[in-house]
Structure 1
Amino acid sequence: MTNATTRRRRSSIGHPRYVPYLFLAPMILLFATFKLYPYASALWLSLTANIGGQTTFVGMQNYVRLLADPLFYKALGNTAIILIVQVPIMLALAVLLAVAFNSLLLKTRTLFRALYFVPIVMGLVAYGILFRALLNTQDGFVNYLLGLVGVDPIPWLGDPFWARIAIVIAMTWHYTGQSAIIYLAQLQSIPGELYEAASVDGANARRRFWHVTLPGLRPALALTVILSTIGTLQLFDEPYVLTNGGPNNATLTVGMYLYQNGFQYFDFGYASAIGYALTIIIAVISLIQLRFFKEKP
């Protein structure tokens, strides 16, 4: 190899167009190691089963088993119920809080913003334990307060209906402040001239909210709806700490069912199949939501 050829190769490697890739190389390596490889490994696991202590390739058998598994559909139904009930309630409260935080009529707005954002800082397990103590049927503080006004103790964690309500209450308390702060940031980007023009046209506060505030919140609404949906479909910590999936599997979620199969029954192939099925469900729902919130030309 001549010196001229060597110089040409060195100069091509040092060409400015390759410099960005050199800076990206550490991130690409980390992403491939801690993201792509686990995804590929989980996909391979979903096509295997532990037979006689040996990992054996079984093709699509885990997915066929999943389609005929009534407990999976039970977990999926429980997750859907919590999603349909909790997410709209949480986001509606977040919008109202954001509008209140943005109002000049509210004194000490900064203090209220901080107070409503604090719950998101608390760890998931910690706040799950907190609500388990608050909602205890025998000596929980919530039932104590209800008793003061003559209401009988509610079996928050021992009845299928109330157990779901308990999870909805806990999640709403924990995540509403986070969504409210996102909406508040979006509200502050809405030009004040729009409100002034609406007022000049005779629009009252309700009409200004529907025709100025909500359209202005559209990008933030799309973000929070999609993120909240994904988070709820992956729900694990709250039912695990509060009810452990009970009573009678009434609060068993897909995330909990995946955990049970993988780390209690050590059926990692089937657990991986559940994970990929959940990924497909999340992708489909997210695409539908993106099309719904897409700006119309």
Structure 2
Amino acid sequence: MTLSPAGAARRNPRALGHKLQRPGLYFALPALALFAIFFAYPLASSFWQSMTKTVGGETVFVGLDQYARLFLDPLIGKSLFNAGILLVVQVPLMMSLAVVLAYLLNQSWLRFRGGFRVLHFLPAVTTLVAYSVVFRVMLATDGGAVNQLIGLLGIAPVDWLNNETWARVALIASITWRWTGYNMVIILAGLQAIPEELYEAARLDGAGRRAIFFRIVIPQLRPVLLFTSITSTIGALQLFDENFILTGGGPSDATLTPVLYLYKVGFRQFDFGYASAIGWMIVALTAVIAFVQFRLTREKP
């Protein structure tokens, strides 16, 4: 006896499932093709390029030599040291400001909360190049707005962009101004997701503002803080626009970061093999630091 297609499908549900999955695969093909062309292929190509070197106009396979070169390059160490300063100083400073601002802007007693939220978020919508140029003009040694302002207080002009210490301070200040509002909005969304019943129960138990903040707000914000800290860490390791425009990595490589060094090696020295190795080093460091952050901040069973 010959079964109809419907009967055969009922007898073989697995065949029916495969038949129903085909249209979904067809719809996914464009996305898969774009992923393969613009992500998978460049990723594999850069990894292969990191194990090659151009000698006499020809590409030569050198294995892990480019990665061994990383350990002998003093500028790699300097760029990682500068990135470490950002991770240790700028990221905690920015996260602390974002939490405090979000907590204040979430209070019901604060008037014009909407206006303040927009005001603090405005830096996040400015383009990286535009705000970096503005900071460069403001921090100019001669005639800069910041030096003119502190001059009114009787303080001598500061060479913000040509002194190693002050250049780092200027870079940290500009990044903090740009990204604090962005993280504040994310944390504010997390605050608004905390049930009001938790606050009421804490007040009934006699908890003050300090206890509520550290025993309810911070623990409830743990997933949000983990997300913002990881994205801020990635941003610090991949910093390029601000220091490229403000200082060009100087003075004396005081603001040189791994990505800026990658740019100089690849597009000024045209050593694309070594630049690819630097790129993969950044990827590995980012993954390791993100993993450590995740392990340290995860909820204990």
Mapping of 1:75-90 within 5 angstroms?
A: 75-90=79-94
Q: Distance in 1 between matches of 2:273 and 2:165?
A: 32
Give 1:12 shift. 7.3
2:175 counterpart residue number:
171
Measured against aligned partners, the alpha-carbon deviations of 1:29-80 in whole angstroms (never above 9, x if no partner) come to 1111101111001001101111001111111111111111111111111111
1:43 counterpart residue number:
47
Give 1:104 shift. 1.0
Q: Distance in 2 between matches of 1:200 and 1:19?
A: 57
The SS at the match of 2:54 is: strand
User: TM-score scaled to structure 1, two decimals?
Assistant: 0.95
Give 1:151 shift. 1.0
Aligned-residue CA RMSD in angstroms?
1.6
Q: Distance in 2 between matches of 1:205 and 1:286?
A: 32
1:129 counterpart residue number:
133
User: TM-score scaled to structure 2, two decimals?
Assistant: 0.93
Unaligned runs of 5+ residues in structure 2 are 10-14
Say whether residues 1:53 and 2:57 are aligned partners: yes
Moved over 4 A (4+): 11-14
Aligned length: 290
2:76 counterpart residue number:
72
Say whether residues 1:18 and 2:5 are aligned partners: no
2:247 partner letter: T
Q: Equivalent of 1:145, from 146, 149, 161? A: 149
Q: Distance in 1 between matches of 2:241 and 2:162?
A: 18
The SS at the match of 1:49 is: strand
Unaligned runs of 5+ residues in structure 1 are none
Mapping of 1:76-225 within 5 angstroms?
A: 76-225=80-229
Q: Distance in 2 between matches of 1:251 and 1:92?
A: 23
1:153 partner letter: P
Say whether residues 1:270 and 2:274 are aligned partners: yes
Q: Distance in 2 between matches of 1:14 and 1:217?
A: 43
Q: Distance in 1 between matches of 2:149 and 2:253?
A: 29
Give 1:111 shift. 0.8
Give 1:17 shift. 2.4
The SS at the match of 2:233 is: helix
1:291 counterpart residue number:
295
**Percent of counterpart pairs with the same letter?**
49
Q: Distance in 2 between matches of 1:160 and 1:85?
A: 16
1:243 counterpart residue number:
247
1:39 partner letter: L
The SS at the match of 1:166 is: helix
Q: Distance in 1 between matches of 2:17 and 2:53?
A: 46
Measured against aligned partners, the alpha-carbon deviations of 1:243-267 in whole angstroms (never above 9, x if no partner) come to 0010011111101110000000000
2:93 partner letter: I
Say whether residues 1:281 and 2:270 are aligned partners: no
